[in-house]
Structure 1
Amino acid sequence: MIDNRFIEKLFVVLLLGLFLQCQCQELQKIMIPKITNEFEKITIQNSKKKDDDRCIETPEGRKEIFSASEGGYILSIYYENAFYKSDKFYYKNGYIKNKSLSFNMGSPVGMLYYFDKSGKLIKEENTDEGYSFTPEKVVKYCEKNKIDLPKGYHDSGYQARVLKQVFEGKKVWRISHQTAGDKIEEIILDGKTGEELEKKVVRL
């Protein structure tokens, strides 16, 4: 005869396993890269001697887009299973100028770090101020409303876009996505509450 306590323990173990699996899936779905306020110098792989735009694929499944600008160099790192990318700007001497994460290939999220030409950290800016409705909540809103947000790097085709903007004096999220043909739906969400402030259809 099977002990009832054994069945109860087995049931608890199964529930725990299911919970951990769901948590793991959720973390994979909303994977957020790490970025720190530490000094960096541009790597040999993306040598500052190279002035051509390049896309480098890494063994870890990242794509690194390197380009030269008038004031220095830009390195954008896209992660295959993430709604986020890292944006790093460098001075001509190869030292880091500023760096942050961007959500959905658009606006900065989290902390934005600034450095002087000697590599000293001079400023930290919290770009999430006024945005209680977090990027993770934007992702859930899009999932609920059948809006397909892109992950990783895409070099062609129209992709859904999410930007931080100001609308009628409020900090907002502006979501643009293709609905059919050349029609684009634009949705504005309150940055604090997530309330829909406007929804309209425009053309490409």
Structure 2
Amino acid sequence: MKKIFFYLIVIVFYQCQAQKKTTHTNSPMNIIDSSFEKLNINNSTLLKTKKRYGTTEPPKYIVNLNETLQSGALIETYGLLDSYYDQWITPSQGWFKYYKEFYSDGNIKLKRIYNKTSDGNYGFLYEFDKQGKLVKTTNFEKDWKTFFTGITGIANKNAKKFNYKVDTSDDGVITSKDNQQWDKEYVKIWRKDQGGKKLWFIGFNKGHYENSDDKKVERVVIVIDDVTGKEIKKLHYFDWYNRNFKELDEN
């Protein structure tokens, strides 16, 4: 009986560890790694977009290809031949898109991620030499305590509380910054060091056509202390449609 009890404890322990590992591995930021990559610069579809760039001699040429995969991901590849290439990959789901730069031969130069909904540094930046060797890693998360998944959990709770019909899940369909229109419902997450204190912000937007100009958008802003992961302030207000989200003590 003691042996059975012991094995049950061991099984539960390893299941918990596996769950922790899975949660960490599936973090919304872990969509790139430090592995070597090479862009196929001889891709016939890419080369079909080749056109002259400028009027200087000898002539220079660029390529510019936009593709949509079956998954819904958008891939934008741009290159100045014999110089460099860059690539934006925007998955149809999730909070992050990723950016890559390549040397003239297609070897990876750098890669990193960006928040779809706002500016700022997130995740890791990997930089490579011309031979494809990793030479530098910048960890933008090292000074932040609260995981992004913790913030999306708070966003989900408040979306329900304030009746915002937006997807806040880690793998949700998220409205990108370029498509955040005042008359639409959307959510954004951003973070900053404000007065020596690291803070996260969640902003919800909803348009109201019928309201006066100074109350065209309904906004909810949740402010979160990065150290504790707790909400420290909540703002619910109406505003002009072309204004930035309020933060803390703004009027």
Is the TM value for this pair above 0.5? Answer: yes
TM-score using structure 2 length: 0.55
SS at structure 1 position matched to 2:94: coil
Q: 1:111, 1:167 → 2: CA distance?
A: 22
Residue 58 (structure 1) aligned with residue 69 (structure 2): yes
The residue aligned with 1:111 is 124
Q: Which has the larger radius of gyration?
A: 2
The residue aligned with 2:156 is 143
Q: Offset of 1:60 from its aligned partner?
A: 3.1
Give ranges in structure 2 of 5+ residues lacking alignment. 1-18, 52-61, 209-215, 243-251
The residue aligned with 1:79 is 91
Tell me if structure 1 keeps the 8 A contact 2:90–2:97.
yes
Task: Give the letter aligned to residue 35 of structure 2.
Answer: E
SS at structure 2 position matched to 1:136: helix
Q: Offset of 1:37 from its aligned partner?
A: 0.8
Residue 193 (structure 1) aligned with residue 211 (structure 2): no
1:134-181 Cα shifts (integer Å, max 9, x gaps): 111111111100063462675634343222321111222233331334
Runs of 4+ in 1 over 6 A off after TM superposition: none
Percent identity of paired positions between Structure 1 and Structure 2: 24
SS at structure 1 position matched to 2:37: coil
Q: Check 1:60–1:31 CA distance in 2 against 1; reply closer, same or farther (3 A cut).
A: farther
SS at structure 1 position matched to 2:31: coil
Q: 1:52, 1:152 → 2: CA distance?
A: 29
After the TM superposition, which residues 5-24 of structure 1 pair with which residues of structure 2 at under 5 Å, given as runs? none
TM-score using structure 1 length: 0.66
Question: Which of these residues, 119, 122, 125, is aligned with residue 135 of structure 2?
Answer: 122
Q: Which has the higher strand share?
A: 1
Task: Give the letter aligned to residue 63 of structure 1.
Answer: L
Higher relative contact order (CA 8 A, sep 6+): 1
Tell me if structure 2 keeps the 8 A contact 1:66–1:73.
yes
Q: Offset of 1:131 from its aligned partner?
A: 2.1
Q: Check 1:34–1:180 CA distance in 2 against 1; reply closer, same or farther (3 A cut).
A: closer
Root-mean-square deviation (Å): 3.6
